[in-house]
Structure 1
Amino acid sequence: MRRPLLSTLAAAVVLVAGCAGAPEPSTIAATAVAPLLPGAEAITSAPAAEGTGSCDTEATLAPTTQPRPGAMPAGSAMAAIIANGRLRVGVDQNTYMFGFRNPSTGRLEGFDIDLAREIARDLFGDPDKIELRSVTAADRIPLLQEKKVDMIVRTFSATCERRREVDFSSVYYRAAQRIAAPRGAGIGNGAGLAGKRVCVAKGTTAAAPLFTLPTPPTVLGVTNWTDCLVALQQGTVDAISGDEPILAGLVAQDRNLEVVGDPIGAGAYAVGVPRGSDELVRFVNGVLDRARTDGTWQRIYAQHLSTLGPSQGPPVPRYVG
């Protein structure tokens, strides 16, 4: 009964012996290359920076007497929203702390999300009368122009260029733009980006300060800020530059990163609405005024942004009419 096994072993010995004198296969050297993320592209010219241009980027319309929830003036943009049964808001789902999808609950959460719910609360008397639509930074203005959303609450800063296309509320949050890099990478400030590859989100103003550095880095634009984190982990870029709370959210997801250097720019977030929506701008500013004075702003800061340090308080609005 053992002969078949012995025959098999013998054949294996012969096969190995026969291969012993054969030349070893040659080794082909290869270098692993991480492909660019879908939608990633080089940014070769600076967008308009925040605070530049001939306009007052923070000027906005003062609120008037705030209507009661559910009782909006006939013919107003707010009445149209009420008739639609829900507030359609463009938000982010990829920016930790401001707008992200909680993997445990599947719900969108963050500072911007809660602020949008406060607007729905003052419209309907119910913060859940809201439809949150995940949008990219590059799609914010087109969606407002096409009126596929009623407003954008997505770390959206007013610039003179953007103000020619949409309207803005008062500023509800200020942020400094900084740099995030791997610990020990030798990047400590803007000067350290010389000869490096830096990631930003397309459709934002984050690339602008990078082009003002003495030796501008190579800039890669991606769809979402989390794509920057992936690009950095894959070695496609050397650093990320964006607003400090956005970078802090990325660091919270990868402790090998750190935020470094002095600010190289600044951001001032406001709610974006379709151009010509004066009544809606005044209404949203009324909601923001309430949130500033009744403790709502401080509450949602403490809930979502406390890791950034003590709150400096909500920005003071700049009303011009």
Structure 2
Amino acid sequence: MHARHLRARLKGWGGVGAMAAACALAVVFALAVTCTGSVASQAADPHRAGDRTTQAHTADAPRAADDCEAPEKQTLSPSRADGPTITAIKNRPGEKRKLIVGVDQNSYRWGYRDPNSGESGRLEGFDIDLVHRIAEDILGDPDAVQFKAIPTDQRIPAIQDGRVDLVVRTMTINCSRLKDVAFSAPYFKTGQQVLAPKSSPITGYDETLANRKVCTAKGSTAYAKLEEDRGSGDLPASTDISTTVPNQLDCLVRLQLGEVDAVVNDGALAASQAAQDPTVELKGEAFTTEYYGVAMKKDADDLVRRVNQILVDFRQDTATGWQASYTKWLSATMDDDPSASRPPAAPEYLRRS
């Protein structure tokens, strides 16, 4: 995530001006939209693991829900079996027989609308690839998806209210969220980082943030971390963290307008924002370790297990799976070596029910 990773990043995005157009599109498409883009079906994976093997992996493991020392492990073992949640999705009539998924539409390379793609309104990115994979496995059609664009702080309410079946939106698995929703096993590893202008004296998540305004997204783990650290003295008390916005990209706009001095965000997203604007850069190293997961209703056990099985296949599929998606979308903005971002090769499933 150094300057060399910013080479020609604006090609295909159209620079900051086009980014403003993308923001305008975000307003137009803020309501539910149906995906019509064509995505090639992924090749069948010859290494699909059997249900008995994966379910036996941690069959008698205790559930650490109260202390939640490892939130990324608090999920159910994989299975391909249909249950009530999946059956209800499959039984939707006619054109409604689709997976309803909450996503972002302005996170560059993750879930976004490229105004230069030639296909108006088509969502693409790493998270979008995963959504199509899930839809193909459950409904037999990668395009059987209804996308709903939701802001950061609406991810959990959208699940609880039944507006979506899943949220695939760079959503960090943590103990607080596990009280409200269920998560899959991790599909991406990241950590919080500081984004600031290249000319800024800010050097990272340190004392150089004193007397500086920092922007975060509402309901994000970044804001929670800043609030906790400022209270404990690990962040200067004079750091102003009052600026919060509905979506991460809004922080980049605030930074460009000079309304804030820095942005704190997941490093994976911050790297994509740096690719959109060559005048900013990541400052310092990641200061947390976090994992993205697919979020679902707490009682949707069969869907959690099915998604976990899909993630097993996604990781193992070297042709059209995790590695291929990383190479296509993220290697240009992050690093050609994905090792730091890979989810656990052998995830643990400590939740029993």
2:141 counterpart of 1:126: yes
Aligned to 1:303: 328
Alignment check: 8 A CA contact 2:109 2:124 kept:
yes
Q: RMSD of aligned C-alpha atoms?
A: 1.6
Q: Of residues 134, 137, 143 in structure 1, which corresponds to 2:152?
A: 137
Read off the aligned partner of 2:160 and give its amino acid letter: Q
Matches within 5 A, 1:33-182: 54-55=67-68, 56-58=70-72, 59-64=74-79, 66-67=80-81, 72-73=82-83, 76-84=84-92, 85-104=97-116, 105=119, 106-182=121-197
1:42-97 C-alpha deviation (Å, 9 max, x unpaired): xxxxxxxxxx9721311211112x25xxxx45xx2111111120000000011111
Q: Describe the shift of the 1:174–1:130 C-alpha distance in structure 2 as closer, same or farther (beyond 3 A).
A: same
Shift of 1:183: 1.0
Bigger proportion of residues as strand: 1
2:275 counterpart of 1:252: yes
Read off the aligned partner of 2:249 and give its amino acid letter: T
Identity rate, percent: 40
Alignment check: 8 A CA contact 1:243 1:266 kept:
no
Q: Distance in 2 between matches of 1:135 and 1:53?
A: 29
2:201 match: secondary structure: coil
Q: Distance in 1 between matches of 2:226 and 2:219?
A: 15
Q: Distance in 2 between matches of 1:298 and 1:273?
A: 24
| Ranges in structure 1 where 5+ consecutive residues have no aligned partner | 1-51
Aligned to 1:241: 264
Shift of 1:276: 1.0
1:263 match: secondary structure: coil
2:163 match: secondary structure: coil
Q: Distance in 2 between matches of 1:266 and 1:203?
A: 18
Shift of 1:207: 1.6
Q: Distance in 2 between matches of 1:315 and 1:78?
A: 26
Runs of 4+ deviating beyond 4 Å: none
Q: Distance in 2 between matches of 1:315 and 1:121?
A: 24
Q: Distance in 2 between matches of 1:249 and 1:60?
A: 29
Shift of 1:160: 1.6
Give TM-score scaled by structure 1 length.
0.79
Q: Distance in 2 between matches of 1:284 and 1:117?
A: 12
Matches within 5 A, 1:265-280: 265-280=288-303
Equivalent residues, number = 263
Q: Distance in 2 between matches of 1:195 and 1:266?
A: 26
Q: Distance in 1 between matches of 2:67 and 2:114?
A: 41
Aligned to 1:215: 236
Alignment check: 8 A CA contact 1:209 1:264 kept:
no
Say which is worse superposed, 99-108 or 148-157, in terms of deviation.
99-108
Read off the aligned partner of 1:89 and give its amino acid letter: V
Give TM-score scaled by structure 2 length.
0.72
2:226 counterpart of 1:226: no
Q: Describe the shift of the 1:161–1:249 C-alpha distance in structure 2 as closer, same or farther (beyond 3 A).
A: same
Q: Distance in 2 between matches of 1:135 and 1:214?
A: 30
Q: Distance in 2 between matches of 1:125 and 1:183?
A: 47
